Amino acid sequence: MDGLSREPHYHRHPSIPGGVVPPHHHPVARKLAAILAADIAGFSRLMGRDEEGTLEHVKRLRSEIVAPSLERHRGRLVKITGDGFLIEFGSSVDAVRCAVDIQERLARETISDRAEPLQLRVGINLGDIIVDEDGDIYGDGVNVAARLEQLAEPGAICLSGKVYEEVRDKLPYAFEDEGERRVKNIARPLKIYRIAPPTRTTATPGSAHPFPTPRDMPSIAVLPFTNMSGDAEREFFADGMTEDIITALSRLRWLLVIARNSTFAYKGRAVDVRQVARDLGVRYVLEGSVRASGNRIRITGQLIDAESGKHIWAERYDRLVEDVFAVQDEITEHVVAAIEPHLYAEEGYRAQSRATERIDIWGLVVSALTLINRATREANREAQILLHRAIAIEPGYARAHAILGWAIWWETFCYWRPPEEGFREMMELARRALALDPQEPWGRMIFGFSLSTTGHHDRALEQMRGALDMNPSWALGRTLYGVALLRAGYAADAVSETGRAVRMSPLDTFAGIYTAFHGLTLLGDRRFEEALPYLRRSVLVFPEFPGHCNALISCCGHLGLIEEAQAQLQHRNRIGPPLTLEQIRRNLRHHAHCALFVEGLAKAGVPEHDAGSKEDRSTALP
């Protein structure tokens, strides 16, 4: 047996159910984690043939392929065991993405070498583990990953049933059901799924994606257009171009469009389009640039089929600045026609008319939205200033009113404004936006979410469904709709909607909101183990926000992870008002998941009242 499968230092401990602990160490923590175990197939044979060459190859594998992939996918290298390694992840999705990334890169990296290529066998499991004071991990969760690695063929990835259930609707890979298998030292049969090894026929640029990625619908990511003007104040042209094209494409029911919060993670970076497509799970990528000089503007766009690497459409536009909206419509029409011409004809695509043709006002709103997405208090304050300026110039611009309502919601959500005042103003701005334009999707979504907050669930869902009818691939709208469904008592439907939002915004750069809300809906559906990694991730992404901590504490309470819950409670009370059951009941009294949420907090040891304060103003996720 190679690498991790040797297990020379594990032994059973009778007082720990299923526990495997190292000699001379005592476990200091337990947690749920995704474990990736890997080893090099035929390592002993390779060493016998070329000892020095194989060792050099292994070092390159670790430094040039494994280490960068761990950084991208947030994995922790636990240990290296000769020809293998053990990695811990907070998320099954990250673990599988990392495994696919490593196998693909290894296939491309080694195909041109004269030496015999290295091939990894990879096993991934999700389970409870023990972490000792040195950071090493133990338990059946680890052992199952090692057994899965042994079952994997060279170049392939074997997943446990638990991992498959976590990732099946979130990742675009082709999973093969391998049935149940009995393995050494594991009492129950394992349900196993497989991701096949990449093809090793070629490694040249433009080769097909080695892991099959069938999708139910065409999918696209619009990368941030590059500002080529040399003037930072012209940045809104590039950002606005990207934002509006994403919005226009999102109106098409047959096209899956990745949210701007994920694609803007690549802003300012030199990227490999095919790697972006793999990261985001899409078939097509649109990229472009904007160069403005005086009253002239040059815009370029190119559409790439990421599976083949081919450019399937490219164009350059030299226009007057005031023609920027017409150029956006032309680019969108070309992209749609190139991706799916017969559906394009059926859909009868037509860009919706804009409420403003003023470039300066449009620029203020685009810049404000970018600032809101930074999720800081100062940036939010700057965004509101820009939006008030836009409204002062053109009071009839409905979207400016609606997005100001969104800025105020975020301000309230983050405890920067008293909740009663914030939600009241948010509602007023949404009403004003809809009075100006009853079909404004931002207005309908914000108005619906305000109604949901106050318990008017039927009206809320009607408004929010209307917004999504206009923009089906609007990830933010989709996740807010999911939360509204949870509040109304439709937990299973809520999980489906927030799960779709996570798929549309897989990188979730917007303060962990997509992972937080998906974790919240999973919690509301009593799927606590599934919720846990999402809620942990949201706290890691945005540790300054108490609301993310509230949901994680409740989830830990339901799972009996009291030490983790208490640690989170201490952190949460340092960054916000003291958390109490009394205030959460009051805040969530109109919401169907209130009792379940409070039950988890109570199990975690959250007090009924704040003994040190007469007025308790803590809040949960809205």
How confident is the model over 288-340, as pLDDT tens digits?
888 877 778 788 888 888 777 778 777 787 777 777 777 666 766 666 555 54
* Residue 157 pLDDT: 93
Number of H helices, E strands in the chain: 25, 16
Radius of gyration of the chain (CA): 26
Q: How sure is the predictor about 615, in pLDDT bands with cuts at 50, 70 and 90?
A: very low
* Residue 607 pLDDT: 94
Distance of CA 185 to CAs 5, 53, 81, 189, 471, Å?
A: 12, 36, 20, 11, 51
Q: What is the pTM of this model?
A: 0.54
- Condensed to tens digits (0 to 9), the pLDDT of residues 110-150 reads 433 445 678 899 999 999 898 887 788 888 889 999 989 98
- Condensed to tens digits (0 to 9), the pLDDT of residues 358-401 reads 657 777 887 888 788 777 888 899 999 999 999 999 899 898 99
Q: How sure is the predictor about 435, in pLDDT bands with cuts at 50, 70 and 90?
A: very high
Exposure string for 552-580, b = 16+ CB within 10 A, e = fewer: bbbbbbbbebeebbbebbebbbeebbbbb
Q: Is the pLDDT of residue 1 over 50?
A: no
- Condensed to tens digits (0 to 9), the pLDDT of residues 550-571 reads 999 999 999 999 999 999 999 8
Contacts from 105-108 at CB under 8 Å and sequence distance 24+?
Answer: 105/65, 105/69, 106/61, 106/65, 106/155, 107/155, 107/197, 107/198, 107/199, 107/200, 107/203, 107/210, 108/203
CATH number for the segment(s) 514-622: 1.25.40.10
From CA 255, how far away is CA 220, in angstroms rounded?
Answer: 8
What value, to the nearest 5°, has the Cα angle with vertex 584 and ends 579 and 587?
Answer: 130
Superfamily, domain 219-347: ABC-type transport auxiliary lipoprotein component (3.40.50.10610)
* Residue 46 pLDDT: 80
Domain boundaries, the chain: 3-195, 219-347, 356-472, 514-622
Measured N-to-C along each axis, helices 359-372 and 377-393 cross at an angle, to the nearest 10 degrees, of 160
Average pLDDT score, the chain: 79
* Residue 405 pLDDT: 93
Measured N-to-C along each axis, helices 457-470 and 441-453 cross at an angle, to the nearest 10 degrees, of 160
Element (H, E) at 195: strand 190-195
Question: Which of 3.30.1360.120, 3.40.50.1110, 3.30.70.1230, 3.40.50.970 is the CATH number of 3-195?
Answer: 3.30.70.1230
Distance of CA 177 to CAs 87, 166, 181, 192, 193, Å?
A: 24, 15, 11, 7, 5
Q: Is the pLDDT of residue 353 over 50?
A: no
Give the other-Cβ count within 10 Å of 88's Cβ. 21
438-461: average pLDDT: 92
- Condensed to tens digits (0 to 9), the pLDDT of residues 504-532 reads 777 665 677 888 999 999 999 999 999 99
* Residue 428 pLDDT: 94
* Residue 213 pLDDT: 36
- Under CATH, what is the fold of the domain 356-472? 1.25.40
Q: How sure is the predictor about 42, in pLDDT bands with cuts at 50, 70 and 90?
A: confident
- Sign of the dihedral through C-alpha 436, 442, 447, 448: positive
Within this chain, domains 356-472 and 514-622 share the same CATH topology: yes
Paired tokens of 87: 């990695």
Q: How sure is the predictor about 277, in pLDDT bands with cuts at 50, 70 and 90?
A: confident
Q: Is the pLDDT of residue 7 over 50?
A: no
| Half-sphere CA count of 514, side-chain side, radius 13 A | 26
264-269: average pLDDT: 79
**What 3-state class would DSSP assign to 481?**
helix
Judge residue 233's burial from the number of C-beta atoms within 10 Å of its C-beta, 0-12 exposed, 13-18 middle, 19 or more buried.
Answer: exposed
Measured N-to-C along each axis, helices 475-488 and 513-524 cross at an angle, to the nearest 10 degrees, of 20
* Residue 94 pLDDT: 92
| Half-sphere CA count of 370, side-chain side, radius 13 A | 22
What is the percent of the chain where pLDDT is above 70?
81
- Condensed to tens digits (0 to 9), the pLDDT of residues 578-599 reads 899 998 998 898 999 999 999 9
More confident residue, 221 or 353: 221
In the chain the first and final C-alpha atoms are separated, in Å, by 52
Residue count (the chain):
622
From CA 70, how far away is CA 98, in angstroms rounded?
Answer: 7
Q: How sure is the predictor about 98, in pLDDT bands with cuts at 50, 70 and 90?
A: very high
Give the other-Cβ count within 10 Å of 45's Cβ. 10
